[in-house]
Copies of this chain bind each other. A is one copy, B any other.
Amino acid sequence: MTGVLHAVDPRTGARLGPGHPAAGPADADRACELAWEAFPAYRRTGPEERAAFLDTIADRIDALGGALTERVTAETGIPAARAEGERARTTNQLRMFASVVRDGAWLDVRTDPALPDRTPLPRPDLRRRRIPLGPVAVFGASNFPLAFSVAGGDTASALAAGAPVVVKGHPAHPGTSVLVAGAVREAVREHGLPEGVFSLVLDAGHELGTRLVADPRIRAVGFTGSRRGGLALVAAAAARPVPIPVYAEMSSVNPVFVLPGALRENGADLGRAFAGSLMIGAGQLCTSPGLVFLLDGGDESSAGSFVDAAAAAVAAAPAAPMLTAGIRAAYDAGVARLAGTPGVRTLARGVADPDIATPCLPGLFLTDDTAFLAEPALQEEVFGAASLLVRVRDRARLREIVAALEGQLTATVHAAADDRETAAELLPDLETLAGRIVFGGWPTGVEVGPATVHGGPYPATSAPATTSVGAFAIDRWLRPVGYQDVPADLLPAELRDGGPA
């Protein structure tokens, strides 16, 4: 699709200027060609050079200042304070990857020295390090226009690994994408790197994205978005003459398990806190708590304080703008499906606001274990501030439910002191279910550090052994190479005896 892209302010429905020219197939091909040409030189950059480049990208994005905040707010409806927080997260993430590059552990250098006198056969000198796979295609997400978009975690970790990046910008925030891409390109120029180290292509449809994934010069893909979108890219990548990995973070309902003691001791506070987590960003977060299992022992009253407090909080919550009209339409359809499922009761909806063009009216629903187990569609993600409370009669039912759940990014437990036995029984099942287990908190809010796991079993992600956030996100773009008896003067610097690593 060619033409001109215009963002829409989701708060008002107004079309925003200026228009951004959409890329055509030739633009995508050229971006891949440039990335391929840049690859040999870029992957050979030393750690300090590459780290300084990442630091400069962060500086240049910070320098965009208020203009960036304004553009994010206008294109996404995300409030200015959250947009600024997200910018800080994005630039901190770039700087974290700069320090990851400097540290060098990502190279995973191993050396097995020669054993010339070993019998029956001598051992050769064996060394290994990791190298980047090649140019990476990154798909910007709609809900984090900075942190999971043009210069977000996928781009930062790929550039850290030595991989040139071609970003397919999300069509909902083209102006934001262009601003950030300008900052990255400035850093490319400042560091004298080949132009193809970074490119942005924008279009309104799916053609360019599929074309990027099929391009033989692209060697890996990073994606955060819908399950349908992610699986389409997985299929396109697998159909190539040479298949490539797709790291897709796709969907998760982030089940929360509230155990009997916690319900009893702290039900109302937990209910309110849950509603707070649900409402963040109009629920448009991959870690939004979309399912809450209340282990009430078959006694409705024991879950009452949680249910009442959560319902009151949701009923009082104002509508908030969703990212796009399409997302809002999907949300309304999902909520209608939930509300119309036999055995599901609508507990609360938020407060409508006719001034918002794409309002998310928060929704809270209630069902029980039998109805939940009878209808697999009840565990489908409704992207937005909707959540389903499920009363569960006993631990056996709880385990049955956990076994029936799809793979998740997170699983959260609220347990009081006398819930210990139940929690201990539940924990191994949750390890098999999810990438991150949270106790006493909420799944929203993802730290960026070495211990971060933002991943999980299918369909939460297409690559459960990886994380898309945190220091180890760099692993996705690397593969090991072994060097047997390679002369010292030909070895990469980090593999030489007494080398920097």
Contacts and interface: CB of A to CB of B under 8 A. Distances in A.
Contacts of A435: 479-482
Nearest to A406: B242
Contact of A480 (B438, B472, B483): B472
A284 to B, nearest CB: 19
Given A242-B458, A437-B484, A451 B490 contact: no
A438 to B, nearest CB: 4
B451 A110 contact: yes
Nearest to A485: B439
Given A238-B238, A486-B437, A126 B481 contact: no
A418 to B, nearest CB: 13
Interface stretch (A46-54, A128-136, A310-318, A329-337): A128-136
A497 interface: no
Contacts of A428: 40, 44
A423 interface: yes
A424 interface: yes
Interface in A449-488: 449-453, 455, 457-459, 462, 464-465, 467, 472, 475, 478-487
A491 to B, nearest CB: 9
Contacts of A394: none
Contacts of A490: 420, 423-424, 427, 439
A422 B16 CA distance: 56
Which one of A40, A437, A449, A453 has the highest number of Cβ atoms from chain B below 10 Å of its Cβ?
A453
A439 B489 CA distance: 12
B467 A480 contact: yes
A343 interface: no
Q: Report the copy number of this chain in the oligomer.
A: 2
A281 interface: no
A135 to B, nearest CB: 12
A225 interface: no
Contacts of A112: 447, 449-452
Interface in A404-451: 406-407, 420, 423-424, 427-428, 431-432, 434-441, 445, 447, 449-451
Contacts of A464: 133, 479
A341 interface: no
A297 interface: no
A366 B244 CA distance: 34
Contacts of A481: 431, 434-437, 453
A374 interface: no
17 contacts: A112-B451, A112-B452, A121-B445, A128-B453, A242-B406, A245-B465, A420-B489, A423-B490, A434-B481, A435-B481, A436-B482, A436-B483, A439-B484, A440-B485, A441-B485, A453-B480, A453-B481
Q: Top 5 A-B pairs ranked by shortest CB distance?
A: A453-B482, A436-B482, A126-B451, A112-B451, A110-B451
Contacts of A131: 431-432
Interface residues of A, number: 66
Nearest to A423: B490
Contacts of A243: 458, 462
Nearest to A487: B439
A315 B107 CA distance: 45
Interface in A59-98: 85
B451 A111 contact: yes
A339 to B, nearest CB: 27
Contacts of A436: 481-484
Interface in A165-218: none
Contacts of A123: 447
A127 interface: yes
Nearest to A39: B432
A195 B122 CA distance: 40
Nearest to A434: B481
A304 interface: no
A25 interface: no
Contacts of A458: 242-243
A187 to B, nearest CB: 24
A124 interface: yes
B124 A482 contact: no
A81 to B, nearest CB: 10
A126 B465 contact: no
A29 B164 CA distance: 46
